[in-house]
Structure 1
């Protein structure tokens, strides 16, 4: 899976080992970054094809991303490369969470 290139200046550091984060975020490690005044969270090549969330804070962006992820997994077709990557990653870590 290709991850969108994001300027290092825009990336918000996240402690992916934090107990405050869900298993989704810990395992998949989406990128959290600033775009204008908004916080964004993305896993994938771009906002349209990937799994994307946004909000007024990094926590809101991550929560929106998780909601989008869950909906994407529920509706995923067999040829959905990003959803298949997510399922494979979670299965490999024994975290079947959908």
Structure 2
């Protein structure tokens, strides 16, 4: 994997974060909760979770390395490493950022 521009990753994360009060646009999940929080799917080891956008921004901001990767089932990922901790974020850096 090669290192990628951190600011571009953060912009992509902000554009692709989904509102927990709606169905996820990425996986079409039916888990609708009253919300307002912006979330990003993450993977650590073999487990997935949804992180608040602010936690994603914080982790990527302090990461030693930020690289592009690909998930087991094909989704584009951004892999950030802080010390020995590695987290993959479901962020597609190839999608255009901006607009409505």
Q: TM-score, normalised by structure 2?
A: 0.30
Q: Tell me: higher relative CO, structure 1 or 2? Use CA pairs within 8 A at least 6 residues apart.
A: 2
More helix by share: 1
More strand by share: 2
Q: TM-score, normalised by structure 1?
A: 0.31
